Structure 1
């Protein structure tokens, strides 16, 4: 089920937390919502989940509109809020049976669904423990299990890995990638590496607006930073090589990193290798290194949010 967001707007006391945003989340993909604190991520997630209504705009879950079929939408989404709401005195398996009943899962299906969620979320050894006895990582697994127990078509996860250690993050990431194979998954995070590793599509928010949207590869291509390379040239003094490189109009910025080695930033879509080769042939130099430096998501994030 695709999710289409159209000109969504929400304000609190005159401040626009979400400012006319539009995007599409597709089935079989994980869409990551990234942004600094206060960017509007959690407000957007709460509107998507039906917890809040927008002032303006619309969201379609398949053929369902939030304004006309809100009840039907709630049946097709699973939601894990930022602060995982669990009943700490219940044990895991009883809690999942309880949530299954709340979701109106038929009696003849509920046992199978609970056992499926225990297997999927790696809770088999923890299923008889009380929730307050679990580590935070296992509590997050229980939260994901309750969000999935009714087999929703759309899964909304708000900061699912906050406060977890690297091993716990790896386990949660694996679960998210699995469910993202046949469901529409929307997750928010302020952890750049988590978004880059887990998500098929990335949407960066700042001050309630979408400031960048696409795959990480597309965001790199769209970045005004151009392309960076590590360059090594042998055959002359550094000042001579530096001055010669400065004459090339394709190079936007250059730094000397060590003896006869440079990091250069070039205009997009230019054949800088051929240009540098011609320059070296002219001066009887040779190229010891010409290696692309991939633009980091962190660099793109800082660029699109620093002026917002």
Structure 2
């Protein structure tokens, strides 16, 4: 199994952000995280990625405990947080070389890794243009390429199409579908349309707990539409 999550719990003061979340994920699955503001989606993703310590529970990547062996686990995952920082004066090529070298890759290995990640993210001719001159869609692709540099089998993407225009969203969704053929993906998204378009499963989270874990088709069949399913399962609160 690529990812096994069992009983993750996290509190901030008296507030319970994540309350016993558990699920599994294998290669070829694209899981969409849905839930209201403050439901616990981003907190869950950060614990899986090793950026936040759980109070209880465990996340394992290829049976490696993320909390106990963080570096080994993180070598096997790529994480793209919402609003991931980029250096505008750099080109994608120099930025990705910088990221590869901070991962400890040799110069030759970094060069090969950048070429592969740039191809996977479909950066094309933008590879040598200053990042600050690129569209939002291509800047998100640069961020995605940085998460792909070490060729991980697990990708965690927080709002990968946020702020993009329809054409840019369509292009990034096509890219996500392609990446999902040989990897496992977790995506947090505002868009029910996006879940329906790219995800093989939808996990709905409310008040730190999973309230549904089904295919988008099963949720539509049960509730009539994904929007109605979301409203019913989360009491119609604001979508995130």
Deviations 1:31-73 (A, max 9, x none): 1111121111111111111110110011111120123221100
| Residue equivalent to 1:174 | 174
Tell me if structure 1 keeps the 8 A contact 2:4–2:63.
no
Q: Deviations over 1:137-194 (max 9, x none)?
A: 1110000000001101211100101110111011111111111111111111121111
Determine if contact 2:36/2:206 at 8 Å carries over to the other structure: yes
Unaligned runs of 5+ in 1: 226-294
Return the alpha-carbon distance in structure 1 between the equivalents of residues 167 and 29 of structure 2. Answer: 24
User: CA deviation digits over 1:58-116, x for unaligned, max 9?
Assistant: 11111201232211001111110011211112111100111111222343332222122
Contact 1:5 1:21 in 2 (8 A): yes
* Residues 90-169 of structure 1 mapped to structure 2, 5 A cutoff: 90-169=90-169
Task: For residue 20 of structure 1, give the secondary structure of its aligned residue in structure 2.
Answer: strand
Where relative contact order (Cα < 8 A, 6+ residues apart) is larger, the structure is 2
Calculate the aligned-residue CA RMSD, in Å. Answer: 1.5
Counting only pairs closer than 5 Å after superposition, residues 162-241 of structure 1 correspond to structure 2 as 162-221=162-221, 223=222, 225=223
Contact 1:118 1:124 in 2 (8 A): yes
- Whose strand fraction is larger, Structure 1's or Structure 2's? 1
Q: Residue 37 of structure 1 contacts residue 190 of structure 1 at CA under 8 Å; is this kept in 2?
A: no
Q: How many residues get paired? A: 237
Contact 1:76 1:154 in 2 (8 A): yes
Structure of higher CA gyration radius:
1
| 1:1-308 alignment runs, 5 A limit | 2-221=2-221, 223=222, 225=223, 295-306=224-235
Distance in 2 separating the partners of 1:38 and 1:103: 32
Distance 1:307 1:136 in 2: 30
Q: Look up the SS of the partner of 2:127 in the other structure.
A: coil
